Amino acid sequence: MKTISPEMQVFMDYLHQKKLKLTPHRELILEHFIGNEGHRSVDDIYRVVREQDPRVGYTTVYRTMKLLVDSGLAREIDLADGMTRYEHLYNRQHHDHMICMQCGSSIEFYNAHIEALQDAASEQLGFRVTDHRLQIYGLCKSCCD
């Protein structure tokens, strides 16, 4: 029998709640998404999924990624390279990014203190936070040398 990953379970619950179905294409896209780390664009995912099933179209990847974001499994990130990228969100600590403007690499970091200060600053202004993003641009260690 097939093992169901916790991510798949979350997705199935989400789809059920929305009265949508877990189709083979959607399943394939989710599997590839959770199976690979990193910051992947729709095009990245499209190409990998295509290797396994060439019938999957570009549009379906776009639409499925939207569902994944909506279900809380993925997060859109902006790495300033002209396209939306996605990263895992399930069971993953929130974090931010440092983006190297030379080599394009990105470092993930997390600072609880910064997070707390953001929440405090928001509360003080009567702002109800649903999400936040912090990007630090510059040169990574190896590009500094």
Partner DNA sequence: CTGTGTGCAAATGGTTTGCAAAAAC
Partner DNA sequence: GTTTTTGCAAACCATTTGCACACAG
CB of 121 to a second copy, least distance (A): 5
**Given the complex with a second copy, which of 83 and 121 has the nearer CB atom?**
121
Among 23, 101, 103, 104, binds a second copy (CB under 8 A): 101
Q: For residue 56, what are the contacts with CB-CB under 8 A and spacing of at least 6? A: 25, 28, 29, 46, 49, 50
The site partner of 103 among a second copy, DNA, none (C-beta below 5 to 8 Å per kind) is: none
Q: Give residue for tokens 């499209």.
A: 46
The site partner of 21 among DNA, a second copy, none (C-beta below 5 to 8 Å per kind) is: DNA
The site partner of 117 among DNA, a second copy, none (C-beta below 5 to 8 Å per kind) is: a second copy
The site partner of 42 among a second copy, DNA, none (C-beta below 5 to 8 Å per kind) is: DNA
- 37-76 in b/e form (b: 16+ CB < 10 A) is eebbbbebbbebbeeeeeebeeebbeebbebbeebebbbe
**Given the complex with DNA, which of 49 and 100 has the nearer CB atom?**
49
- Our finding on whether 81 is near a second copy (CB under 8 A) is no
| Helix 24-35 / helix 58-71 crossing angle, nearest 10 deg | 70
- Our finding on whether 130 is near a second copy (CB under 8 A) is yes
Cα–Cα distance measured from residue 15 to residue 145, given in angstroms and rounded to the nearest whole number: 49
The tokens for 79 are: 């790495």
**Binding residues for a second copy, per CB under 8 A?**
78, 98, 100-101, 107, 109, 111, 113-114, 117-118, 121-122, 125-141, 144
